[in-house]
Amino acid sequence: METDTNKQTTQLGSYISKILRDNFGKGPESVHVSLGKTFIIFYIRNFLSPTEKVLMNQKQEESVQQTRDLVMQTLIPEIKAYIKIVTGMEIREFYYDWGLHNKSAMFTGICSDLTSVDAPIKEEFTGKPELITEIINLSSESEKKPEEIFACQLNHRSILVIRNGILVRIEKQLIRQGMREPLKFAKRTLEKGLLHNNNHFEGILNTKVIDIFVDWDFDLDKSVIVFITNPTK
């Protein structure tokens, strides 16, 4: 028998597939939705339009990201509203990232404690202390050691890491001067390079890591990292 959570994730996955198809001209192959307490993660697979494929072949990754970012600014309010209708979650923070070379994407929403869902998360999981240490080291290399860090596992394929207090003074000044987009692109390139080139994560988590995503909320000085792992191992 299908549970309420399963019904909700199926409904949300179908909605995200449709809204992406309607706005980008091509929908994804699949959307996997993970729900847990105050968190919701969408993992989107095989999502790249024919036009974007041409741009990627011409090394125009930044153009693809900029176009998608513009579209997302109009979609995020709609997505938040639909999540509230289906789950009751009042999404106050929304993060997203594109894995263009894998044709994948991640959306992550965080709601208030008052509107959390009745779905558990695991705050203790295999390799958590070592994972946090590794993330702190990578953060120190790319920006600075986070003032706070939290990690949890939503299910057998989704691990969420939240960092607070990571921006250095020069980044804060660039944000004040209206340089958000160039800064975000630079941080995506730098941090994702460090994350994807790190060969310790699979050993730490004792499973294959399929995708890693990262995004920031500059106003909150906060970042999320999402690890998508092999659900069969």
d(CA 42, CA 121): 16
Give burial (CB, 10 Å; 0-12/13-18/19+) of 91.
Answer: buried
Between helices 61-87 and 180-196, what is the axis angle to 10°?
A: 90
pLDDT digits (tens, 9 = 90+) for 145-192: 999 999 999 999 999 999 999 999 999 999 999 999 899 989 999 999
DSSP state of 122: B
Per-residue pLDDT of the chain (233 residues; tens, 9 = 90+): 357 889 999 999 999 999 999 999 899 999 999 999 999 999 999 999 999 999 999 999 989 999 999 999 999 999 999 999 999 999 999 999 999 999 999 999 999 998 889 999 999 999 999 999 999 999 999 889 999 999 999 999 999 999 999 999 999 999 999 999 899 989 999 999 999 999 999 999 999 999 999 999 999 999 999 999 986 55
Q: How far apart are CA 37 and CA 42, in angstroms?
A: 15
Q: Are 187 and 216 in contact (CB under 8 A)?
A: yes
> What is the tens place of the pLDDT at every residue in 111-126?
999 888 999 999 999 9
pTM above 0.85, yes or no: yes
DSSP-based three-state secondary structure for 87:
helix
**Cβ proximity of 34 and 154 under 8 Å:** yes
Whole-number pLDDT of residue 232 = 57
